[in-house]
């Protein structure tokens, strides 16, 4: 499921394949995903000029149009972004055709994603109430964010208005590496525990991006590859992993290694 590392991979894919080429046509196949933008608006804003840069914040990807304005994509639970020159993938919600014959497909299988247009990226982030990006959130700010929070640390890490980018899977991974139980009260974590979580979060995200956000290519020492096994065991101590519902999501954690 697209969390920060996945969206970063999409961003790089768009960067590598779809910049600096004039847009010939835009095809909005699923209008239900449009927010604050019409089919006509997208066409008028993009056709005839290229995209010239990209930006990611949390799970949002922005592509900047050369004549101004940002095309914004949110991938929901089943989104994908394909840059290819052959075939027409199923479930394409938005397709851009470029003048060199290539195209870019924004896929959304379950239609919980979003296509938006904004003149100002930062205004958009503010209106959406998004917190700082998980990769650039400094330690001091992270500690402040925890202060006084009564909910679980897992819920807080998944709350996009607190910190943008983490979803269920990478939150579990972060807390496992920090050695902190997911159901601990966020505001009651020690100074050192907060530091460990912050460090683990950045390490996990950076590593996942380096490995192309491919679940099959994650380190053996991670929980992530074991989530789908029938008898998942802790990569640290080999004890059976616990499953619980925390923050409304299925949570994997180790009773031995996380306190």
For residue 13, indicate whether it is catalytic: no
Residue 69 or 165 with smaller CB distance to DNA: 165
Q: Considering the candidates 13, 199, 249, 256, report the single residue annotated as catalytic.
A: 249
Shortest separation between residue 159's beta carbon and DNA, angstroms? 7
Residues that bind DNA (CB under 7 A): 1-3, 58-59, 74, 76-78, 109-112, 114, 128, 148-152, 155-156, 158, 160, 167-169, 186-187, 227, 247-250
Q: Which residues contact 15 (CB under 8 A, 6 or more apart)?
A: 54
For residue 193, indicate whether it is catalytic: no
Q: Considering the candidates 3, 8, 128, 173, report the single residue annotated as catalytic.
A: 3
Q: What angle do CA 147, 149, 155 make, to 5 degrees?
A: 125
Residue 23 or 156 with smaller CB distance to DNA: 156
For residue 249, indicate whether it is catalytic: yes
Shortest separation between residue 204's beta carbon and DNA, angstroms? 14
Residue 74 or 181 with smaller CB distance to DNA: 74
- As a whole number of angstroms, the distance between CA 14 and CA 8 comes to 10
Shortest separation between residue 102's beta carbon and DNA, angstroms? 26
Shortest separation between residue 215's beta carbon and DNA, angstroms? 11
- As a whole number of angstroms, the distance between CA 148 and CA 205 comes to 26
Q: Considering the candidates 21, 59, 95, 114, report the single residue annotated as catalytic.
A: 59
Residue 75 or 98 with smaller CB distance to DNA: 75
In DSSP notation, the chain reads: ---HHHHHHHHHHHHHHHSSSBEEEEEE--GGGEES--HHHHHHHHBTSBEEEEEEETTEEEEEETTS-EEEEE-TTTEEEEEESS---TTEEEEEEETTS-EEEEEESSS--EEEEES-HHHHHHHHT---BTTT--HHHHHHHHTT--SBHHHHHH-TTTSBS--HHHHHHHHHHHT--TTSBGGG--HHHHHHHHHHHHHHHHHHHHTTT-GGGS-TTSSGGGTTSSS-B-TTT-PBPEEEEETTEEEEE-TTT--
For residue 132, indicate whether it is catalytic: no
Residue 3 or 80 with smaller CB distance to DNA: 3
Shortest separation between residue 94's beta carbon and DNA, angstroms? 15
Would you please indicate which residues are annotated as catalytic (active-site) residues?
Answer: 2-3, 59, 249
């Amino acid at each position: 499921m697209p969390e920060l590392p996945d969206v970063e991979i999409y961003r790089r894919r768009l960067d590598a394949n779809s910049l600096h080429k004039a847009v010939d046509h835009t095809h909005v196949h699923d209008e239900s995903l449009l927010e604050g933008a019409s089919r006509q608006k997208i066409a008028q804003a993009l056709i005839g000029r290229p995209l010239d840069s990209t930006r990611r914040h949390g799970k949002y990807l922005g592509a900047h149009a050369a004549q101004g304005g940002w095309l914004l994509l949110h991938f929901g639970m089943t989104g994908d972004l394909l840059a290819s020159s052959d075939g027409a993938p199923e479930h394409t919600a938005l397709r851009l055709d470029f003048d060199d014959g290539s195209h870019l497909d924004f896929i959304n299988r379950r239609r919980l994603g979003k296509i938006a247009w904004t003149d100002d990226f930062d205004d958009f982030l503010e209106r959406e109430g998004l917190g700082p990006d998980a990769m650039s959130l400094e330690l001091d700010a992270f500690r402040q964010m925890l202060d006084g929070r009564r909910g679980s640390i897992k819920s807080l890490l998944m709350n996009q208005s607190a910190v943008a980018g983490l979803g269920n899977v990478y939150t579990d991974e972060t807390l496992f590496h920090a050695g902190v139980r997911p159901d601990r009260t966020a505001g009651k974590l020690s100074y050192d525990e907060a530091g460990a979580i912050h460090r683990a979060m950045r390490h996990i995200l950076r590593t996942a991006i380096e490995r192309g956000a491919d679940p099959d290519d994650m380190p053996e020492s991670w929980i992530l590859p074991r989530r789908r096994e029938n008898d998942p065991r802790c990569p640290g101590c080999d004890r059976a992993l616990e499953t619980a519902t925390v923050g409304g999501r299925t949570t994997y954690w180790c009773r031995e290694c996380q306190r």
